[in-house]
Amino acid sequence: MKVDETPEPSYKDVEQKSESIQQMEKGNKEIRKASGSINIVGENAKLIAFMYTLMRDRIPVGEMERFVREIRDDVEYEFCNGWLAQYSEYLVKKLTTVEMPEKKEKK
């Protein structure tokens, strides 16, 4: 057999893989159940959803924690990229503004 050729899986290999996938899926369900799920509503719900998605898909939790620790209340920040700073401000307003649904008038 050549180095770059892979042997055909036997029935036993497929069966074992299927079992390991089933075990992994079972483990995932158990982890989800153990970690719990919550529903968040209110003024910070969009910001929380944004942060959750960042940490779930893009930024390691430890990096996010480092960023948060570096930001202080007693410092005035000067940003060298005005456009990026303004866009950041726009996103914060969009994520922290609660839009109330319009009330329909009764006739």
Cβ(79)–Cβ(85) under 8 Å?
yes
pTM assigned to the model: 0.59
Of 52, 41, 45, 56, the C-alpha closest to 95 is 45
Residue 2: pLDDT band with limits 50, 70, 90 = very low
pLDDT tens digits, one per residue of 50-105: 999 999 999 999 999 999 999 988 999 999 999 999 999 999 999 998 776 676 76
Q: Taking 90 as the threshold, does the pLDDT of residue 3 lie above it?
A: no
pLDDT tens digits, one per residue of 7-33: 565 656 666 667 888 888 888 888 878
Residues 6+ positions from 100 with CB-CB distance below 8 Å: none
Structure tokens, 103 = 């009330």
Sequence ranges of the domains in the chain: 38-98
CA distance linking residue 47 with residue 69, whole number of Å: 18
CA distance linking residue 50 with residue 75, whole number of Å: 25
